[in-house]
Chain A
Amino acid sequence: MIEILYAIFVGPFRDMATSPAFLVEVLLGGVATGLMYSLVALGFVLIFKASGVFNFAQGVMVLFAALTLVGLMERGVPVIVALVATMAVMVVLAFLIERVVLRPLVNQEAIILFMATIGLNFFLEGFGELLWGANVKKLDVGIPDRSFVVAGVQVNQLEMSAAATAAVLVAVLAVFFQRTRIGRALRAVADDHEAALSIGIPLKTIWLIVWSVAGLVAIVAGIMWGAKSGVQFSLSLVALKALPVLILGGFTSVPGAIVGGLIVGVGEKLGEVYWGPLVGGAIENWFAYVVALVFLLFRPQGLFGEKIIERV
């Protein structure tokens, strides 16, 4: 009994203390993964705030973006051109979603819009594979997946580039939505659709913008994850990890998505490395969901959320 308690409550912390460099490595890895979760969660939050739509297809948008990028590159299109083209594709996709899916369903129940995004999910998955094929593709963005040592800490170059990119993107988006006029319009739309319309905010434009941003965010997430583990269907499952992040951070909070992503990323890495051996590993796979469950029980609005998720 004592040994079990020791193994749970003392052992792991002793391990952390004895090898701080390794702990830093684990933390860095957690931050890198966490930022990616934040990125995907941010896509969710923006769309949910602006339109009350819970976008089930966010994960497939990540896959679709990565597939498009790789597909173009495989056909000999230079990286930069392919990237710009993929961005254009995602904006066009946002436009089409607003036109074909959202507009006819305006003023419908949230659950109906949610179902529509499930449909969108299957469509995009099938359409992406139809266009670019279903086999696993290697995505080479020109950043080698190798490690080097800084002050005794092993750092993976690809992971750090991904983390830096995600951090910059998250910061840019945060400024964009907090400090600009469009941010005020977005907050207005999130607060009250009718009132927003009455002061001349075109809902359609706002929707187009948030879906485009969600699409662009999906590209970055797709590239980073694709470069690590190949572009394949499992990419779309990344979005499943964004769900606990949202529950943690609150569905309507941009800072919540960022902090929630970091907590989940770091938490699951620490759990995996230090507590994993006790239960035979794989903590990484369920940690986020258990945290989410605890939050649902005790703080269902998340860390920063205002409105409860009654709209989902």
Chain B
Amino acid sequence: MSRPPAGPLLEVDAVSVRFGALLALSGVSLSIERGEILAIIGPNGAGKTTLLNVISGFYHPYEGRIRFEDRDRTHLSPPDVAALGVARTFQNVALFKGMSVLDNLMTGRLLKMGGHFLLDAIWWGPAKRQELANRAIVERIIDFLEIQSIRKTPAGKLPYGLQKRVELGRALAAEPKLLLLDEPMAGMNVEEKEDMSRFILDVNGEFGTTIALIEHDMGVVMDISDRVVVLDYGRKIADGPPEQVRKDTAVLDAYLGASHD
């Protein structure tokens, strides 16, 4: 409690996650500093998505602690984590496919809408005013992500790259303190990747949002991240600025598969 407020936004402290006999994460510690873009990289099966799932409350560690803004929140449920101001996207886009892009983004505002679910149905006036206020914020995000032309399109009908962008929009609609992106550029072409990189940098630059992202494209990682954490077989093997991590021998081994036989 006596920590200065400038401490890390999120701390993962010696966290281990187990699925039966498989140790998906083993004693991983890392911190996410306020305002930075942190990239989490590693070979397939290294535990990157597991780490994101632990942070966002989908999994709970059997060992270790997680602190957000200097508060222990190791055992919170996903909605509780969301309420703290953590938003995320998923590796296999998890949009509400039947809803329009606009409605998808509006769902991102659910937590920001005060009042009670049931009272909303009775008190028309305030609910309506609130809806409009939230709508204005969502419209700004739609402008920001340049998706005006598809706002009424059902999300499920969009091409993959745009779905990823809409999913980012839904996460942004929650005005998160921490934004977790699970492979935001997977399956994108070069142009789409450039767009997405620009959005990520802009979100970080304009709104000061702290971002942790998993990404496979090393070029992108080196370009946009302030710091890189490398996982391999559920362990952290490197942590530092991109140019340093790039030269790290353990990292090179992990990617070339040299030391695992």
Interface set of A (CB-CB < 8 Å, partner B):
175-176, 180-182, 184-185, 187-188, 191-192, 194-203, 205, 209, 306
Residues of A within 8 A of B162 (CB): none
CB-based contact B82/A200 at 8 Å? yes
The 8 Å CB contact of B120, one of A180, A203, A209, is A180
Query: In the complex, what's the smallest C-beta–C-beta distance from B222 to chain A, in angstroms?
Result: 28
CB-based contact B127/A195 at 8 Å? no
CB-based contact A194/B94 at 8 Å? yes
Query: In the complex, what's the smallest C-beta–C-beta distance from B227 to chain A, in angstroms?
Result: 24
Query: In the complex, what's the smallest C-beta–C-beta distance from B240 to chain A, in angstroms?
Result: 29
Judged by a CB distance under 8 angstroms, whether B61 is at the interface is no
4 tightest Cβ-Cβ pairs between the two chains A and B: A200-B82, A195-B94, A197-B78, A191-B96
Bound-state CA distance A122–B58 (Å) is 34
Query: Can you list 18 pairs linking A and B with CB atoms under 8 Å apart?
Result: A175-B121, A180-B120, A181-B110, A182-B118, A182-B120, A182-B121, A184-B103, A188-B107, A192-B96, A194-B58, A197-B79, A197-B82, A198-B87, A198-B90, A198-B94, A199-B82, A200-B78, A203-B79
Bound-state CA distance A201–B87 (Å) is 12
CB-based contact B117/A200 at 8 Å? no
Query: In the complex, what's the smallest C-beta–C-beta distance from B180 to chain A, in angstroms?
Result: 9
Q: Which residue of A lies closest to B112 (CB)?
A: A200
Total A-B pairs in contact (CB under 8 Å)?
A: 86
Residues of B within 8 A of A191 (CB): 95-99
Residues of A within 8 A of B121 (CB): 175-176, 180, 182
Judged by a CB distance under 8 angstroms, whether B83 is at the interface is yes
Bound-state CA distance A135–B3 (Å) is 69
CB-based contact B120/A200 at 8 Å? no
CB-based contact B127/A199 at 8 Å? no
Query: In the complex, what's the smallest C-beta–C-beta distance from B199 to chain A, in angstroms?
Result: 19
Bound-state CA distance A202–B79 (Å) is 6
Bound-state CA distance A199–B110 (Å) is 8
Q: Which residue of A lies closest to B82 (CB)?
A: A200
Q: Which residue of A lies closest to B113 (CB)?
A: A181
Chain B 83-105 per-residue mask, 1 if CB under 8 angstroms from chain A, else 0? 10001101000111111000100
Judged by a CB distance under 8 angstroms, whether B108 is at the interface is yes
Residues of A within 8 A of B99 (CB): 187-188, 191
**Extra A-B contacts (8), CB below 8 Å, given A182-B117, A195-B94:** A182-B120, A188-B107, A196-B107, A198-B94, A199-B107, A199-B111, A200-B174, A306-B98
Q: Which residue of B lies closest to A172 (CB)?
A: B121
Query: In the complex, what's the smallest C-beta–C-beta distance from B4 to chain A, in angstroms?
Result: 29
Given contacts A195-B94, A199-B174, A201-B79, is CB(A181)–CB(B117) below 8 Å? yes
Given contacts A180-B121, A185-B117, A209-B117, is CB(A201)–CB(B110) below 8 Å? yes
Chain B 53-87 per-residue mask, 1 if CB under 8 angstroms from chain A, else 0? 00010100000000000000000011100110001
Query: In the complex, what's the smallest C-beta–C-beta distance from A37 to chain B, in angstroms?
Result: 25
Judged by a CB distance under 8 angstroms, whether B39 is at the interface is no
CB-based contact A198/B127 at 8 Å? no
Bound-state CA distance A185–B99 (Å) is 11
**Which of B79, B82, B174 is packed against the most chain A CB atoms within 10 Å?**
B79
Bound-state CA distance A192–B127 (Å) is 25
The 8 Å CB contact of B87, one of A180, A181, A199, is A199
CB-based contact B96/A200 at 8 Å? no
CB-based contact A198/B82 at 8 Å? yes
Bound-state CA distance A198–B76 (Å) is 12
Chain B 121-148 per-residue mask, 1 if CB under 8 angstroms from chain A, else 0? 1000001000100000000000000000
Q: Which residue of A lies closest to B180 (CB)?
A: A198
Query: In the complex, what's the smallest C-beta–C-beta distance from A255 to chain B, in angstroms?
Result: 14
Q: Which residue of A lies closest to B103 (CB)?
A: A184
CB-based contact A200/B111 at 8 Å? yes
Residues of A within 8 A of B96 (CB): 187-188, 191-192, 195-196
Residues of A within 8 A of B56 (CB): 198
Judged by a CB distance under 8 angstroms, whether B181 is at the interface is no
Judged by a CB distance under 8 angstroms, whether B170 is at the interface is yes
Judged by a CB distance under 8 angstroms, whether B212 is at the interface is no
Q: Which residue of A lies closest to B94 (CB)?
A: A195
CB-based contact B94/A192 at 8 Å? yes
CB-based contact A200/B83 at 8 Å? yes
Judged by a CB distance under 8 angstroms, whether B228 is at the interface is no
Residues of A within 8 A of B174 (CB): 199-200
Bound-state CA distance A209–B82 (Å) is 21
Judged by a CB distance under 8 angstroms, whether B106 is at the interface is yes
